[in-house]
């Protein structure tokens, strides 16, 4: 079991054992960071951070993770490189792999990050595509485990759009053996093929979001309009109006349920201020955990197992 030299493009790229190792490593790195114990295992190495869409958390957590580990970073912004415009993804992958020990990519179609990984001899991390957001879901699962213990057998209620976050939760459920209750407005249902599902019974669909939230251990949602879908914003504001996580919805979940949101959030749309700023919300720790989990992802994919 060694992830050295591999890529992280979807949640299904890792086995349950590999995920378990990564989450243990995340906990260890978080603990050391809190205690001020330096871990610079990637000293002298460099990572390229490609962003074709905007970002706060993903960029900052990759940069701080890299710097803490001793790595240099180059940030390529949505307009400042040749990628996909003046130069093919294939050529970009070969050029960057000659200079860097790893590449993070945030952008549009999943096929782009897959092409990048295919031609890169160094690891590629998916920092969000239209289809998936695996770094975020690993951080979300880490956050749940920190607060409530193992996620196996638990229920996650996904309320709202069947977007990149929803697809990745569904993949995680198949790998780690928990259940996702999904409620979307009509016309926005999960596309099983896009989510890469195999009908393993870890996914249940509900017309009524209150039914999806019932007895859930995690209630989670995301913006009604994801990056790249802005043209649909007006229609979505109308169509998603009843898919808001509010206090009434939290009350039908388990009494110890936590609320998660990858952020950025729109209070008054997909979630009320009362819930996201309330006692069951763990969104700030969830955001911080991006740092610790990505540190583990970077160390493990570049070096393999440091501690057997
Ligand atoms: N959750 C997340 O990925 O946030 P950013 O878009 O700010 O990176
Ligand atoms: N679904 C959102 C997630 C942002 C982190 C988007 O793709 O815009």
The kind and range of the H/E element at 50 are strand 46-51
Helices 16-35/283-303 angle, 10° precision: 110
Distance CA 215, CA 154 (A): 10
- Give the predicted TM-score (pTM) of the model: 0.97
Q: Active-site residue 140, yes or no? A: no
φ/ψ of residue 165, rounded to 5: -65, -45
Residue 16 CA, chain-centre distance (Å), reads 16
Q: What pLDDT score was predicted for residue 308? A: 56
Q: Which of 7, 59, 110, 133 is catalytic?
A: 133
Q: What is the pLDDT of residue 303?
A: 95
- Higher per-residue confidence, 245 vs 200: 245
- Check pLDDT > 70 for residue 77: yes
Ligand 2 probe mutation, 61, 128, 140, 188, most atoms within 8 A of CB: 128
Structure tokens at 88: 């093919």
Ligand 1 center from residue 263 Cα (angstroms): 6
Question: What is the pLDDT averaged over residues 107-129?
Answer: 97
State which ligand 2 atom lies nearest to the alpha carbon of 163: 1
Phi-psi region of 203 (alpha: psi -120 to 50; beta: other; left: phi over 0): beta
Q: How far is the CA of 307 from the centre of ligand 1 (A)?
A: 30
pLDDT of residue 83: 84
Pairing mode, if any, of strands 258-261 and 179-183? unpaired
- 47-74 pLDDT, tens per residue? 999 999 999 999 999 999 999 999 999 9
| pLDDT > 90? residue 305 | no
Which tokens sit at 178? 């928990």
Residue 116 beta carbon below 6 angstroms from any ligand 1 atom: no
CA angle 91, 97, 101 (to 5 degrees): 160
In the block, which residue shows the tokens 């260890």? 28
Q: Please calculate the CA angle 43-49-55 and round it to the nearest 5 degrees.
A: 125
Q: Tell me what the mean pLDDT of segment 123-141 comes to.
A: 98
The mean pLDDT value for 211-218 works out to: 98
Which residue bears the tokens 């388990």? 254
pLDDT tens per residue, range 143-165: 999 999 999 999 999 999 999 99
- Are the beta carbons of 169 and 147 closer than 8 angstroms? no
pLDDT band at 84 (very low <50, low <70, confident <90, very high): confident
Pocket test of ligand 1: the residue of 49, 50, 52, 58 to mutate, having most ligand atoms within 8 Å of its CB, is 58
Contact predicate 19/138, CB 8 Å = yes
Cβ contact 173:156 at 8 Å = yes
* 262 noted as active-site residue: yes
Pair of tokens at residue 6 = 């591999």
Q: Is the CB of 22 under 6 A from ligand 1?
A: no
| Residue of minimum CA distance from atom 3 in ligand 2 | 226
Residue 306 is predicted with a pLDDT of 77
Question: What span, in angstroms and rounded, lies between the C-alpha atoms of 111 and 117?
Answer: 10
Q: What is the pLDDT of residue 117?
A: 96
């Amino acid at each position: 079991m060694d992830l050295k030299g591999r890529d992280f493009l979807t949640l299904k790229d890792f086995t349950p054992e590999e995920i378990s190792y990564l989450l243990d490593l995340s906990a260890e790195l978080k603990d050391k960071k809190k205690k001020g114990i330096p871990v610079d295992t990637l000293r002298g190495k460099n990572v390229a951070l490609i962003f074709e869409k905007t970002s706060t958390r993903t960029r900052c957590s990759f940069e701080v993770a890299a710097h803490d580990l001793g790595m240099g970073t180059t940030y390529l912004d949505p307009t400042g490189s040749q990628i996909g415009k003046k130069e093919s993804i294939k050529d970009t992958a070969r050029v960057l792999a000659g200079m860097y020990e790893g590449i993070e990519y945030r952008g549009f179609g999943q096929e782009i990050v897959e092409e990048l990984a295919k031609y890169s001899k160094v690891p590629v991390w998916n920092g969000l595509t239209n289809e998936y957001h695996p770094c975020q879901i690993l951080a979300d699962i880490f956050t749940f485990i920190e607060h409530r213990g193992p996620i196996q057998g638990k229920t996650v209620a996904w309320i709202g759009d069947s977007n990149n976050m929803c697809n990745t939760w569904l993949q995680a459920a198949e790998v780690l053996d928990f259940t996702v209750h999904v409620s979307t407005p009509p016309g926005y249902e999960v596309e099983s093929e896009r989510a890469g599902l195999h009908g393993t019974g870890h996914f249940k669909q509900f017309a009524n979001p209150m039914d999806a939230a019932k007895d859930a251990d995690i209630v989670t949602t995301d913006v009604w309009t994801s990056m790249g879908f802005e043209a649909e914003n007006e229609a979505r504001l109308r169509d998603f109006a009843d898919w808001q996580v509010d206090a009434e919805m939290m009350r039908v979940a388990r009494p110890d349920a936590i609320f998660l949101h990858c952020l950025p959030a729109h209070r008054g749309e997909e979630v009320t201020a009362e819930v996201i700023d309330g006692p069951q919300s763990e969104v700030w720790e969830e955001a911080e955990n991006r740092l610790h989990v990505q540190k583990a992802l970077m160390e493990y994919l570049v070096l393999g197992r440091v501690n057997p």
